[in-house]
Amino acid sequence: MKVLVINSGSSSIKFRLVDVVEESNGALTTGPALLQGSIKGIGSHTSFEVLGEHEDRSGAIEIRDHAQALRVLFDRLAGSLGGIDAVGHRVVHGADRFVESTLITEEVEAGIDALSELAPLHNPACLAGIRGTREVLGSKLPMVAVFDTAFHKTMPAIAKQYAIPRELADRHRISRYGFHGIAHASLAHGYAATTGTPLERARLITLQLGNGCSVAAIAQGRSVETSMGFTPLEGLVMGTRSGDVDASIISYLCEREKAEPAEVERWLNERSGLLGLSGRSSDMRELLRAAEQEQDQRVMFAIDLFCYRVRKYLGAYLAVLGGADAIVFGGGIGENAPEIRDRICRNMGWCGLRLDPDRNRASVGLAPGQAARISVEESRPSAYVVAADEETWIARETVRCVRGGRS
Protein backbone atom coordinates (compact mmCIF):
# COMPACT_ATOMS: atom_id res chain seq x y z
CA MET A 1 0.00 0.00 0.00
CA LYS A 2 1.40 3.39 -1.02
CA VAL A 3 0.98 5.87 1.83
CA LEU A 4 1.59 9.63 1.91
CA VAL A 5 2.46 10.81 5.41
CA ILE A 6 1.78 14.43 6.39
CA ASN A 7 3.40 15.38 9.70
CA SER A 8 2.34 18.92 10.63
CA GLY A 9 4.22 20.48 13.54
CA SER A 10 3.84 23.90 15.12
CA SER A 11 6.20 25.52 12.59
CA SER A 12 6.88 22.80 10.03
CA ILE A 13 5.44 20.17 7.73
CA LYS A 14 7.32 16.97 7.01
CA PHE A 15 6.10 14.60 4.32
CA ARG A 16 7.05 11.18 3.05
CA LEU A 17 5.70 8.83 0.38
CA VAL A 18 6.35 5.15 1.16
CA ASP A 19 5.30 1.63 0.24
CA VAL A 20 4.12 -0.42 3.22
CA VAL A 21 4.18 -4.18 2.70
CA GLU A 22 2.58 -6.84 4.88
CA GLU A 23 4.85 -9.84 5.44
CA SER A 24 3.60 -13.42 5.65
CA ASN A 25 3.72 -13.23 9.47
CA GLY A 26 1.48 -10.15 9.44
CA ALA A 27 4.27 -7.68 10.24
CA LEU A 28 4.31 -4.42 8.30
CA THR A 29 7.57 -3.33 6.70
CA THR A 30 8.31 -0.01 5.05
CA GLY A 31 10.67 0.38 2.11
CA PRO A 32 12.86 3.38 1.34
CA ALA A 33 11.04 6.67 0.87
CA LEU A 34 9.82 7.19 -2.68
CA LEU A 35 9.65 10.90 -1.97
CA GLN A 36 10.24 12.93 1.17
CA GLY A 37 10.95 16.42 2.35
CA SER A 38 9.98 19.23 4.63
CA ILE A 39 8.87 22.82 4.91
CA LYS A 40 10.48 24.36 7.98
CA GLY A 41 10.26 27.73 9.67
CA ILE A 42 6.68 28.46 8.62
CA GLY A 43 5.88 32.07 9.38
CA SER A 44 9.51 33.20 9.56
CA HIS A 45 12.59 32.04 7.63
CA THR A 46 11.01 29.21 5.65
CA SER A 47 12.97 26.52 3.82
CA PHE A 48 11.67 23.89 1.40
CA GLU A 49 13.37 20.58 0.66
CA VAL A 50 12.37 17.62 -1.53
CA LEU A 51 14.34 14.40 -1.92
CA GLY A 52 13.44 11.45 -4.15
CA GLU A 53 14.57 9.17 -6.93
CA HIS A 54 14.21 11.94 -9.49
CA GLU A 55 14.04 14.88 -7.09
CA ASP A 56 16.67 16.81 -5.16
CA ARG A 57 15.64 20.40 -4.57
CA SER A 58 15.88 22.88 -1.76
CA GLY A 59 15.68 26.59 -1.22
CA ALA A 60 14.17 29.47 0.71
CA ILE A 61 10.56 30.50 0.30
CA GLU A 62 8.13 32.87 2.02
CA ILE A 63 5.23 31.04 3.63
CA ARG A 64 2.82 32.66 6.08
CA ASP A 65 0.94 29.68 7.48
CA HIS A 66 0.27 25.96 7.17
CA ALA A 67 -2.56 26.37 4.66
CA GLN A 68 -0.23 28.16 2.27
CA ALA A 69 2.51 25.60 2.97
CA LEU A 70 0.21 22.77 1.89
CA ARG A 71 -0.72 24.60 -1.31
CA VAL A 72 2.95 25.14 -2.13
CA LEU A 73 3.76 21.54 -1.27
CA PHE A 74 1.17 19.98 -3.55
CA ASP A 75 1.87 22.48 -6.31
CA ARG A 76 5.56 21.60 -6.34
CA LEU A 77 4.89 17.86 -6.11
CA ALA A 78 2.34 17.83 -8.93
CA GLY A 79 2.92 14.74 -11.04
CA SER A 80 4.86 12.93 -8.30
CA LEU A 81 1.96 11.78 -6.17
CA GLY A 82 0.19 9.29 -8.41
CA GLY A 83 -1.10 5.96 -7.13
CA ILE A 84 -1.50 6.93 -3.49
CA ASP A 85 -3.69 4.45 -1.57
CA ALA A 86 -4.02 6.37 1.69
CA VAL A 87 -2.82 9.43 3.59
CA GLY A 88 -1.72 9.39 7.23
CA HIS A 89 -1.80 12.58 9.29
CA ARG A 90 -0.15 13.20 12.63
CA VAL A 91 -2.66 14.85 14.95
CA VAL A 92 -1.45 16.17 18.27
CA HIS A 93 -4.47 16.13 20.59
CA GLY A 94 -7.07 13.38 20.70
CA ALA A 95 -7.91 13.76 24.42
CA ASP A 96 -9.98 10.82 25.70
CA ARG A 97 -12.13 10.91 22.57
CA PHE A 98 -9.54 9.46 20.17
CA VAL A 99 -7.35 6.84 21.84
CA GLU A 100 -6.25 5.01 18.69
CA SER A 101 -5.58 5.78 15.05
CA THR A 102 -8.86 6.64 13.33
CA LEU A 103 -10.24 6.94 9.79
CA ILE A 104 -11.01 10.61 9.18
CA THR A 105 -14.67 11.39 8.63
CA GLU A 106 -16.52 14.71 8.90
CA GLU A 107 -17.38 13.79 12.49
CA VAL A 108 -13.75 12.98 13.32
CA GLU A 109 -12.58 16.22 11.72
CA ALA A 110 -15.09 18.17 13.80
CA GLY A 111 -13.84 16.38 16.90
CA ILE A 112 -10.24 17.33 16.13
CA ASP A 113 -11.35 20.91 15.56
CA ALA A 114 -13.16 20.98 18.90
CA LEU A 115 -9.92 19.98 20.65
CA SER A 116 -7.95 22.86 19.12
CA GLU A 117 -8.44 24.95 22.25
CA LEU A 118 -6.32 22.37 24.10
CA ALA A 119 -3.51 22.42 21.51
CA PRO A 120 -3.71 25.86 19.89
CA LEU A 121 -0.28 25.66 18.24
CA HIS A 122 -0.84 22.22 16.75
CA ASN A 123 -4.37 20.95 16.09
CA PRO A 124 -5.19 23.85 13.73
CA ALA A 125 -2.02 23.01 11.80
CA CYS A 126 -3.06 19.36 11.65
CA LEU A 127 -6.49 20.35 10.39
CA ALA A 128 -4.91 22.54 7.72
CA GLY A 129 -2.97 19.46 6.60
CA ILE A 130 -6.12 17.34 6.46
CA ARG A 131 -8.20 19.92 4.61
CA GLY A 132 -5.42 20.90 2.25
CA THR A 133 -4.82 17.26 1.33
CA ARG A 134 -8.50 16.58 0.72
CA GLU A 135 -8.77 19.69 -1.47
CA VAL A 136 -6.01 18.41 -3.75
CA LEU A 137 -6.40 14.63 -3.61
CA GLY A 138 -10.17 14.39 -3.25
CA SER A 139 -12.55 13.10 -0.61
CA LYS A 140 -12.60 9.44 -1.70
CA LEU A 141 -9.00 8.75 -0.74
CA PRO A 142 -8.92 7.25 2.80
CA MET A 143 -7.15 9.42 5.33
CA VAL A 144 -6.16 8.41 8.84
CA ALA A 145 -5.49 10.51 11.94
CA VAL A 146 -2.66 9.13 14.10
CA PHE A 147 -2.83 10.78 17.50
CA ASP A 148 0.15 11.81 19.61
CA THR A 149 -1.90 11.40 22.78
CA ALA A 150 -2.84 7.77 22.05
CA PHE A 151 0.54 6.35 23.15
CA HIS A 152 0.03 7.76 26.63
CA LYS A 153 -3.39 6.17 27.20
CA THR A 154 -1.57 3.45 29.20
CA MET A 155 -0.53 5.88 31.95
CA PRO A 156 -1.98 4.84 35.30
CA ALA A 157 -4.69 6.97 36.89
CA ILE A 158 -2.27 8.29 39.50
CA ALA A 159 -0.18 9.84 36.69
CA LYS A 160 -3.17 11.20 34.77
CA GLN A 161 -5.13 12.88 37.55
CA TYR A 162 -4.68 16.51 38.61
CA ALA A 163 -5.35 17.25 42.29
CA ILE A 164 -8.42 19.38 41.57
CA PRO A 165 -12.04 18.67 42.57
CA ARG A 166 -12.93 15.37 40.94
CA GLU A 167 -16.34 16.56 39.79
CA LEU A 168 -14.73 19.44 37.88
CA ALA A 169 -12.18 17.16 36.26
CA ASP A 170 -14.86 14.68 35.22
CA ARG A 171 -17.28 17.35 33.98
CA HIS A 172 -14.70 19.07 31.79
CA ARG A 173 -12.56 16.02 30.90
CA ILE A 174 -9.50 17.55 32.54
CA SER A 175 -6.70 15.01 32.62
CA ARG A 176 -3.00 14.65 31.86
CA TYR A 177 -3.14 13.34 28.30
CA GLY A 178 0.52 13.64 27.26
CA PHE A 179 1.87 14.44 23.79
CA HIS A 180 4.73 13.56 21.40
CA GLY A 181 3.49 9.99 21.70
CA ILE A 182 4.45 9.06 18.13
CA ALA A 183 7.98 10.33 18.70
CA HIS A 184 8.35 8.61 22.08
CA ALA A 185 7.08 5.32 20.63
CA SER A 186 9.53 5.64 17.75
CA LEU A 187 12.44 6.39 20.11
CA ALA A 188 11.62 3.34 22.22
CA HIS A 189 11.36 1.05 19.20
CA GLY A 190 14.57 2.50 17.75
CA TYR A 191 16.39 1.63 20.97
CA ALA A 192 14.93 -1.89 20.98
CA ALA A 193 15.88 -2.51 17.34
CA THR A 194 19.44 -1.25 17.86
CA THR A 195 20.18 -3.13 21.06
CA GLY A 196 18.12 -6.26 20.41
CA THR A 197 16.35 -5.67 23.73
CA PRO A 198 12.64 -6.57 23.76
CA LEU A 199 10.64 -3.58 24.92
CA GLU A 200 8.82 -5.85 27.34
CA ARG A 201 12.06 -6.11 29.32
CA ALA A 202 13.16 -2.48 29.20
CA ARG A 203 12.71 0.57 31.38
CA LEU A 204 13.38 3.67 29.29
CA ILE A 205 13.35 7.43 29.68
CA THR A 206 12.87 9.04 26.29
CA LEU A 207 13.71 12.71 25.76
CA GLN A 208 12.05 14.39 22.78
CA LEU A 209 13.85 17.73 22.61
CA GLY A 210 13.06 20.18 19.82
CA ASN A 211 10.96 23.31 19.46
CA GLY A 212 8.53 21.37 21.62
CA CYS A 213 10.04 19.24 24.38
CA SER A 214 8.82 16.37 26.51
CA VAL A 215 10.08 13.39 28.46
CA ALA A 216 8.39 10.02 28.94
CA ALA A 217 8.92 7.11 31.30
CA ILE A 218 8.31 3.84 29.47
CA ALA A 219 8.05 0.45 31.18
CA GLN A 220 7.57 -2.75 29.18
CA GLY A 221 6.84 -0.72 26.06
CA ARG A 222 4.04 1.26 27.73
CA SER A 223 4.00 4.91 28.71
CA VAL A 224 3.62 5.27 32.48
CA GLU A 225 4.43 8.98 32.87
CA THR A 226 5.14 12.00 30.67
CA SER A 227 5.86 15.68 31.20
CA MET A 228 3.17 17.27 29.02
CA GLY A 229 -0.31 17.15 30.47
CA PHE A 230 -3.73 18.62 29.68
CA THR A 231 -2.11 20.64 26.90
CA PRO A 232 1.40 20.68 25.38
CA LEU A 233 2.26 23.67 27.62
CA GLU A 234 3.15 21.67 30.73
CA GLY A 235 6.59 20.30 31.55
CA LEU A 236 9.97 21.19 30.12
CA VAL A 237 11.18 24.58 28.89
CA MET A 238 10.58 24.69 25.12
CA GLY A 239 11.27 26.97 22.17
CA THR A 240 8.46 29.44 22.92
CA ARG A 241 6.51 27.60 25.64
CA SER A 242 7.15 28.17 29.32
CA GLY A 243 6.66 24.63 30.56
CA ASP A 244 5.76 24.35 34.25
CA VAL A 245 4.58 27.57 35.93
CA ASP A 246 2.60 28.32 39.06
CA ALA A 247 -1.05 28.48 37.92
CA SER A 248 -1.54 31.68 39.94
CA ILE A 249 0.79 33.52 37.57
CA ILE A 250 -2.00 33.69 34.99
CA SER A 251 -4.48 35.56 37.20
CA TYR A 252 -1.65 37.68 38.59
CA LEU A 253 -0.59 38.80 35.11
CA CYS A 254 -4.20 39.35 34.09
CA GLU A 255 -4.58 41.79 36.94
CA ARG A 256 -1.20 43.52 36.61
CA GLU A 257 -1.13 43.73 32.81
CA LYS A 258 -4.89 44.31 32.37
CA ALA A 259 -4.97 41.34 30.00
CA GLU A 260 -7.48 38.59 29.32
CA PRO A 261 -6.60 35.02 30.39
CA ALA A 262 -6.43 33.91 26.75
CA GLU A 263 -3.84 36.60 26.06
CA VAL A 264 -1.68 35.55 29.02
CA GLU A 265 -1.93 31.93 27.87
CA ARG A 266 -0.78 33.05 24.43
CA TRP A 267 2.27 34.69 26.06
CA LEU A 268 3.07 31.40 27.78
CA ASN A 269 2.69 29.48 24.51
CA GLU A 270 4.30 31.89 22.05
CA ARG A 271 6.55 34.36 23.90
CA SER A 272 8.10 32.29 26.66
CA GLY A 273 10.56 29.38 26.85
CA LEU A 274 13.96 29.88 25.26
CA LEU A 275 12.67 32.89 23.34
CA GLY A 276 11.42 34.67 26.44
CA LEU A 277 14.43 33.77 28.56
CA SER A 278 17.04 34.74 25.99
CA GLY A 279 15.21 37.72 24.50
CA ARG A 280 16.76 36.59 21.27
CA SER A 281 15.60 33.35 19.67
CA SER A 282 13.77 30.07 20.18
CA ASP A 283 16.35 28.24 18.03
CA MET A 284 18.90 26.36 20.14
CA ARG A 285 21.43 26.45 17.31
CA GLU A 286 21.39 30.24 17.29
CA LEU A 287 21.56 30.38 21.07
CA LEU A 288 24.57 28.06 21.23
CA ARG A 289 26.37 30.23 18.67
CA ALA A 290 25.57 33.38 20.66
CA ALA A 291 26.74 31.79 23.88
CA GLU A 292 30.03 30.65 22.35
CA GLN A 293 30.88 33.58 20.11
CA GLU A 294 29.41 36.51 22.06
CA GLN A 295 29.35 35.19 25.61
CA ASP A 296 25.81 36.55 25.87
CA GLN A 297 24.97 36.05 29.56
CA ARG A 298 21.21 36.07 29.08
CA VAL A 299 21.49 33.42 26.40
CA MET A 300 23.82 31.32 28.54
CA PHE A 301 21.32 31.46 31.40
CA ALA A 302 18.49 30.37 29.07
CA ILE A 303 20.50 27.32 27.97
CA ASP A 304 21.39 26.47 31.57
CA LEU A 305 17.76 26.67 32.64
CA PHE A 306 16.67 24.51 29.70
CA CYS A 307 19.16 21.79 30.67
CA TYR A 308 18.39 22.08 34.38
CA ARG A 309 14.70 21.45 33.78
CA VAL A 310 15.44 18.34 31.68
CA ARG A 311 17.84 17.01 34.33
CA LYS A 312 15.23 17.65 37.03
CA TYR A 313 12.67 15.54 35.16
CA LEU A 314 15.28 12.90 34.43
CA GLY A 315 15.86 12.41 38.15
CA ALA A 316 12.13 12.31 38.83
CA TYR A 317 11.51 9.67 36.18
CA LEU A 318 14.33 7.49 37.46
CA ALA A 319 12.35 7.48 40.69
CA VAL A 320 9.08 6.70 38.86
CA LEU A 321 10.62 3.70 37.11
CA GLY A 322 12.80 2.57 40.01
CA GLY A 323 15.83 2.97 37.75
CA ALA A 324 16.19 2.77 33.99
CA ASP A 325 18.03 0.66 31.44
CA ALA A 326 18.59 3.56 29.05
CA ILE A 327 18.12 7.26 28.46
CA VAL A 328 17.15 7.90 24.83
CA PHE A 329 17.60 11.32 23.20
CA GLY A 330 15.61 12.42 20.15
CA GLY A 331 14.21 15.50 18.42
CA GLY A 332 16.06 18.28 16.65
CA ILE A 333 18.00 19.32 19.76
CA GLY A 334 18.31 15.83 21.21
CA GLU A 335 19.72 14.43 17.98
CA ASN A 336 21.99 17.28 16.89
CA ALA A 337 23.27 19.16 19.96
CA PRO A 338 25.96 17.09 21.72
CA GLU A 339 26.72 20.00 24.06
CA ILE A 340 23.14 20.01 25.33
CA ARG A 341 23.22 16.24 25.87
CA ASP A 342 26.47 16.64 27.79
CA ARG A 343 25.08 19.44 29.98
CA ILE A 344 21.96 17.44 30.79
CA CYS A 345 23.90 14.31 31.79
CA ARG A 346 26.75 16.10 33.55
CA ASN A 347 27.05 15.19 37.24
CA MET A 348 24.61 12.28 36.83
CA GLY A 349 27.24 9.80 37.94
CA TRP A 350 25.30 9.29 41.17
CA CYS A 351 22.86 7.11 39.22
CA GLY A 352 25.54 5.45 37.06
CA LEU A 353 25.00 7.55 33.93
CA ARG A 354 28.18 8.71 32.19
CA LEU A 355 28.57 9.85 28.58
CA ASP A 356 31.50 9.03 26.33
CA PRO A 357 32.69 12.44 25.04
CA ASP A 358 33.90 11.08 21.69
CA ARG A 359 30.77 9.06 21.01
CA ASN A 360 28.61 11.97 22.04
CA ARG A 361 30.35 14.44 19.71
CA ALA A 362 30.26 11.98 16.79
CA SER A 363 26.57 11.13 17.12
CA VAL A 364 24.89 13.85 15.08
CA GLY A 365 22.98 13.92 11.80
CA LEU A 366 21.65 10.38 12.04
CA ALA A 367 19.26 9.23 9.33
CA PRO A 368 15.66 8.51 10.43
CA GLY A 369 15.55 5.23 12.33
CA GLN A 370 19.29 5.15 13.05
CA ALA A 371 20.63 5.03 16.60
CA ALA A 372 23.98 5.42 18.34
CA ARG A 373 25.21 4.75 21.84
CA ILE A 374 26.72 7.85 23.49
CA SER A 375 27.53 6.50 26.96
CA VAL A 376 30.61 4.60 28.13
CA GLU A 377 30.24 0.83 28.08
CA GLU A 378 29.93 0.47 31.85
CA SER A 379 27.28 3.20 32.17
CA ARG A 380 24.07 2.01 33.80
CA PRO A 381 21.73 3.36 32.60
CA SER A 382 23.18 3.59 29.11
CA ALA A 383 22.46 6.55 26.86
CA TYR A 384 21.49 6.53 23.17
CA VAL A 385 20.59 8.95 20.44
CA VAL A 386 17.79 7.77 18.16
CA ALA A 387 16.65 9.67 15.09
CA ALA A 388 12.93 9.23 15.60
CA ASP A 389 11.14 7.98 12.50
CA GLU A 390 7.66 9.32 13.08
CA GLU A 391 6.73 9.05 9.43
CA THR A 392 7.30 5.28 9.31
CA TRP A 393 5.26 4.85 12.48
CA ILE A 394 2.42 6.95 11.02
CA ALA A 395 2.53 5.02 7.71
CA ARG A 396 2.21 1.65 9.44
CA GLU A 397 -0.58 2.89 11.70
CA THR A 398 -2.38 4.20 8.61
CA VAL A 399 -2.24 0.80 6.92
CA ARG A 400 -3.42 -0.99 10.08
CA CYS A 401 -6.31 1.41 10.41
CA VAL A 402 -7.40 1.27 6.74
CA ARG A 403 -7.26 -2.51 6.66
CA GLY A 404 -8.97 -2.80 10.00
CA GLY A 405 -11.62 -0.23 9.11
CA ARG A 406 -11.29 1.54 12.48
CA SER A 407 -13.36 4.71 12.84
94 is in an annotated binding site: no
283 is in an annotated binding site: yes
Number of C-beta neighbours around residue 372 at 10 A: 18
132 is in an annotated binding site: no
Q: Which of 65, 75, 85, 148 is catalytic?
A: 148
25 is in an annotated binding site: no
148 catalytic per annotation: yes
173 is in an annotated binding site: no
14 is in an annotated binding site: yes
347 is in an annotated binding site: no
41 is in an annotated binding site: no
300 is in an annotated binding site: no
390 is in an annotated binding site: yes
Annotated binding residues for Mg(2+): 7, 390
The binding site consists of 7, 14, 90, 283-285, 332-336, 390
**Binding residue numbers for substrate:** 90
Binding-site entries for ATP: 14, 283-285, 332-336
- As annotated, the active-site residues are 148
